[in-house]
Copies of this chain bind each other. A is one copy, B any other.
Amino acid sequence: MAHVNENFTKLKKNYLFIDIAKRIAAYKEKNPDKEIIRMGIGDVTLPLPPAVVEYMKRGADEMGVKETFRGYEDTGRGYDFLKQAISDYYGKRGVKIPLDDIFVNDGAKSDTGNITDIFSEDSVVLVSDPVYPVYVDSNIMGSKQIIYADATAETGFKAMPNPSVNCDLIYLCSPNNPTGAVYTKEELKAWVDYANTKKAVIVFDAAYEAYVGNINLPRSIFEIPGAKTCAIEMCSLSKTAGFTGLRCGYTIIPEELKAYTSDGGKVSLRDTWTRRQGSKFNGVSYPVQCAAAGVFSPEGQVQVQANIDYYMENAKLILSTLKSLKIPCTGGENSPYIWFKTPAKMTGWDFFDYLLDNIQVVGTPGEGFGQNGAGWFRVTSFNTHELTAEAMNRLKHLLN
């Protein structure tokens, strides 16, 4: 008799963003003529840069010709041309990443969700609260024990290590989703030292690294000395280059990174992940890998930066609007997310409905990200200038 994995019954019924999509759909059905402005889910609105489209079409054409057709990738870990481009991208910031440490994937979400598979079920997993729900959900599915590190307004929404707390796995996200907080090098160093001391592994989510404009802030955990013995980095082209619908990202697992067996032996996590992926993944679509290479081409880098600048203009407008309304807020400076306190002590979900009903603006309730998110709200800078400005006007009129 087939029994379900009962860990699934411990989850919230729906993934947060599917919940939100349902609420929007219900509202639209009742109010088909209202124009909704979406600043909720972190989806981009600008089309793919021309270089990306061109590289992808070239890849598609190659697949239609016998001499250049490509079937299975030997390793499923990504073609060298793309891994080299990624390695060079890190190289520009002085970070050395060997090609063998790079795993190209179909977006960071898959690897972020699946990485827990290679760790023991006895693991204690530390996540900051508020937190991107995938870290929590995937570890509940995987039978792990989850503990929280508080990230509150008092500390700029940056959780810091507590030496008296023991854990095996740590999820960090900087620039942070949902709060937009960005760790300094010194703060990240504290985490790296803590992890090395505890022999714990940090899963570092760098999905928003491209939004860090301040050159003094780290964009990769591997800018921090000692990180290669304690960290896995996950990155994505979704927000960097508008790949939310194209699906490509990468995971970096240093050769130096080990985990332990119950008899005290050491195992390479890079090899373990390679083994998992060998049985459960078959690589990223070749034309998509070509498109990703387009992102790292000289013309692609210019086009991608223009899009990021465009979104950061939106972030500036949102921040200045919230500040003019005297609403406490964070993020939006080296991050596409702006995180702010709901007015009148509303819960995030009440405020969600309030905005949707009154001004048809969609954001994400802080409650969706954990206890410390209660009474806070996330909006993104990924809409158009026009709609962002319109949303901010509506917000001003509503709250003034």
Contacts and interface: CB of A to CB of B under 8 A. Distances in A.
Interface of A: 1-6, 8-9, 11, 13-15, 18, 21, 41, 43-50, 52-53, 56-57, 60-61, 63-66, 68-75, 106-107, 109-110, 113-114, 117-123, 133-134, 137-138, 141, 168-169, 198-201, 242, 244-248, 259-262, 267, 269, 272, 275-276, 278-288, 291
A5 B144 CA distance: 11
A170 to B, nearest CB: 9
Given A13-B275, A117-B141, 17 more contacts: A2-B199, A3-B119, A3-B120, A4-B260, A8-B118, A8-B276, A47-B65, A47-B68, A48-B63, A56-B63, A72-B245, A106-B247, A106-B284, A109-B281, A133-B279, A134-B280, A244-B282
Copies of this chain, count: 2
Contact of A122 (B3, B109, B117): B3
A64 B51 CA distance: 9
A123 B21 CA distance: 34
Nearest to A120: B3
A270 B72 CA distance: 29
Contacts of A141: 117, 276, 279
Which of A1, A248, A291 has the most CB atoms of chain B within a 10 A radius of its CB? A1
A261 B106 CA distance: 32
B71 A3 contact: no
A134 B11 CA distance: 27
A169 B2 CA distance: 6
Contact of A60 (B6, B60, B106, B168): B60
Given A43-B71, A60-B57, A69-B46, A285 B113 contact: no
Contacts of A199: 1-2
